[in-house]
Amino acid sequence: MHDHADHQHGHSHDHGSELDEMTARVRALETILTRKGLIDPAAVDRIIDTYQNRVGRRNGAAVVARAWTDPAYAERLRADTTAAISELGFTGRQGEHMRALFNAPGTHHMVVCTLCSCYPWSVLGLPPVWYKSPAYRSRAVREPRAVLAEFGVTLPPETQVQVWDSTAELRYLVIPQRPEGTEGWAAERLATLVTRDSMIGTGLALTPGAAS
């Protein structure tokens, strides 16, 4: 966990050259494994479709919305995140050991994986390209406020930024603060305000006006 001051450096979320090289290498590896009969492309496509289109941010958003509306569930989420997420039926790849990080006034959490790209697929779907990039993985630790600013998140100077490093043993889910003006909203409606980035910590939950 780290808390660092702001520094100004350039940062691109696209990392086009890295993506192009990585895509080419992945495709070449897939071709070799397919020719050797070690993988089934159709099965791979089904896995990708599941986590990209069917899971996406939906599972994580449901968890956040439940925590916002059910104090008892929020306490269970704090005490045993993995079990609380499993209550909603969300289990699976890279989601076996989870910890929820609750944002609050004065504290903002942000998640990175500095060694590779450990990421809770079962609640957030496939990781975005920028999450896996060397630039994000290094700068999120060294200069989190600068990185947040490039995502459009500017926090008060007194807000402490805590950066958490995911590992193969433990992954994190940020619970963003509930937006104002949502009193009386049902969990299903609240879930529409929860973005993927807000659950990584590189964004905030949408305001009611922004969501509409």
113 given a catalytic annotation:
yes
The catalytic residue among 17, 116, 198, 212 is 116
Identify whether 166 is a catalytic site residue. no
Mean pLDDT over the full length of the chain = 82
Kindly report the number of other CB atoms within 10 A of residue 201's CB atom: 27
Mean pLDDT calculated for residue range 174-202: 97
Residue 22 has pLDDT above 80, yes or no: no
DSSP 111: E
- Which pLDDT band holds residue 3 (cuts at 50, 70, 90)? very low
- Cβ atoms of 118 and 137 within 8 Å: the answer is no
| pLDDT of 109 higher than 90 | yes
Query: pLDDT tens across 31-64, in order?
Result: 776 677 765 665 555 545 444 545 567 999 999 9
Q: How far is CA 57 from CA 40, 124, 133, 149, 167, in A?
A: 26, 5, 20, 22, 20
Is 138 labeled as catalytic in the residue annotation? no
Judge whether 117 is annotated as a binding position.
yes
Whether this model's pTM surpasses 0.85: no
The Cα 119–Cα 60 span in angstroms is 12
Do the annotations mark residue 118 as ligand-binding?
Answer: yes
Instruction: Please identify which of the residues 113, 122, 166, 198 carries the catalytic annotation.
Output: 113
pLDDT of residue 90: 85
**86 annotated to a ligand binding site:** no
List the single range of 24-28, 56-60, 97-101, 180-184 with lowest mean pLDDT. Answer: 24-28
- Kindly name the residue from 118, 122, 133, 166 that is annotated as catalytic: 118
* Residues 184-206, mean pLDDT to the nearest whole number: 97
Beta strands in 37-150 (DSSP E): 98-102, 107-112
Place of tokens 């993506």: 19
SS (H, E, C) 125-188: CCCCHHHHCHHHHHHHHHCHHHHHHHCCCCCCCCCEEEEEECCCCCEEEEECCCCCCCCCCCHH
Domains and CATH numbers, the chain: 16-211 (3.90.330.10)
Task: Give the span between the Cα atoms of 91 and 164, in whole angstroms.
Answer: 21
133 part of the active site: no
| Tens-place pLDDT, residues 124-164 | 988 898 999 999 999 999 999 999 999 999 999 999 999 99
Q: 198 labelled as ligand-binding? A: no
